[in-house]
Amino acid sequence: MSSTPLGSIDATRVPRFAGPATFARLPRADEVDHVDVAVVGVPFDSGVSYRPGARFGPAHVRASSKLLRPYNPALDVSPFAELQVADAGDIAVNPFDIAEAIAAVENAARVFAAQGTRLLTIGGDHTIALPLLRAAAAEHGPIGVVHFDAHLDTWDTYFGQPYTHGTPFRRAAEEGLLDPRRCLHVGIRGPLYSPADLTDDGVLGFQVVHSDDYQDATVASVVERMRARLGDGPVYVSVDIDVLDPAHAPGTGTPEAGGLTSRELLGTLRGLVGLDVVGADIVEVAPAYDHAELTGVAAAHTAYELLSVLARNRRDAAR
Ligand SMILES: N=C(N)NCCCC(=O)O
Ligand SMILES: [Zn+2]
Ligand SMILES: [Zn+2]
């Protein structure tokens, strides 16, 4: 394993608007000899029910990540110094065959796992959480999930189809990938198909922190609920950027009013420090509907906080 991680290109020497198109101007995975955490894109949006365009999410989030700086004062950590983070490019998947795309994502995720590399995956629509959870469960067994989203994504089928961006967590529960005592959604809101959506979801093992809960509860109290639910076992973090209010993240395919602020999301993510986070995704960024990189910047900062949590955990474990 190499000694000092190779970090971002120095912005005091190479201006941010020059230099590589990698996430946070980090090295490519093939430029370093070991990768602790790979940022990998999945440009796939064939599972969407409404606006398409999340296939362009990975490139947009990378472009919106150029201003990130090396030190995170909120968690007192320099993520790219504690961990070798590198950009592994995109997993190229078939846009015309959802089953084949899902298999390709799972296979790629298993290859990274075999190399001892954790994944921070940039979507892509939420369909891709299923193969990522399959790979995570293959490595760790049934896994706890914290799912940030306006939507439950535990619906059964759309137009008779079981593999869509509205169904990944039902399929994951059916496949036994989830620890039903250790799953929760955060940010749920908006119209449903029927009251059964919520009861079915509870049966699958999910607790719900509603978006409105942030009105009365503090971020700290949401963090307390989240940590109590997730416990000590392995945790997968899935962030659908539509968990944010459309004012904070307009660039997404199924926007819902009444969402979280980016401050609430980032604050809640910081509350994951000390939990065994084994993988994460950020999905549903659809740049065609974005303005002034609002959504891209929110997603890039979300990624940065998640990487900071992993880096803090590494540092704290070494002490
Ligand atoms: N996963 C996301 N973003 N959306 C799911 C919405 C499914 C529906 O149209 O009912
Ligand atoms: Zn959603
Ligand atoms: Zn979703």
> Is ligand 1 within 6 A of the CB of residue 185?
no
Average pLDDT, the chain: 97
Please identify every residue whose CB atom is under 5 Å from ligand 2, which is an ion: 149-151, 240, 242
Architecture of domain 23-318: 3-Layer(aba) Sandwich (3.40)
What confidence tens digit (pLDDT) does each residue in 139-176 have?
A: 999 999 999 999 999 999 999 999 999 999 999 999 99
pLDDT, average across residues 277-283 = 99
What pLDDT shows up at residue 190?
98
d(C-alpha 38, C-alpha 23), whole Å: 10
CA of 150 to the centre of ligand 3 (A): 7
* C-beta 49 within 6 A of ligand 1: yes
Ligand 1 contacts CB of residue 284 (under 6 A): yes
Residue type, 280: A
Structure token digits, residue 299: 């997603």
Pocket test for ligand 1, best of 127, 152, 153, 198 (most atoms within 8 A of CB): 153
Atom of ligand 1 at shortest range from CA of 193: 10
Counting runs of H as helices and runs of E as strands, what totals does the chain give? 10, 8
Pocket flag, ligand 1, residue 166 (CB < 6 Å)? yes
User: Which ligand has the minimum distance to the alpha carbon of residue 158?
Assistant: 1
- Ligand 1 atom at minimal distance to the Cα of residue 168: 1
- Ligand 1 atom showing the smallest separation from residue 126 Cα: 1
| Structure confidence at residue 210 (pLDDT) | 98
Atom of ligand 1 nearest to the CA of 240: 3
What ipTM was estimated for this complex? 0.98
261 lines ligand 1 (CB under 6 A): no
Assign 3-state DSSP to the chain and report helix, strand, coil percentages, each to 5.
40, 20, 40
Sign of the C-alpha dihedral computed for residues 223, 228, 234 and 240 taken in this order = negative
Distance between CA atoms of residues 228 and 238, nearest Å: 18
> Is 36's C-beta closer than 6 angstroms to any atom of ligand 1?
no
Specify the pLDDT at position 3: 73
Q: Any bridge partners for residue 144, and if so which?
A: 235
Tell me: the pLDDT tens digits for 194-207? 999 999 999 999 99
pLDDT tens for 37-46 read 999 999 999 9
Peptide bond into 124 cis (omega under 30): yes
Q: Is 259 exposed, middle or buried (0-12, 13-18, 19+ CB in 10 A)?
A: buried
Q: What is the DSSP string of 89-101?
A: EE----TT-HHHH
Mutate to test the pocket of ligand 1, among 155, 161, 164 (most ligand atoms within 8 A of CB): 155
Pairing of strands 143-148, 234-240: parallel
Q: Is the whole model's pTM more than 0.90, yes or no?
A: yes
Pocket of ligand 1 contains residue 164 by CB under 6 Å: no
Q: How far is the CA of 169 from the centre of ligand 3 (A)?
A: 9
Each residue's pLDDT tens digit, 74-127: 999 999 999 999 999 999 999 999 999 999 999 999 999 999 999 999 999 999
So what's the pLDDT on residue 19? Answer: 87
| Phi, psi values for residue 295, rounded to 5° | -70, -40
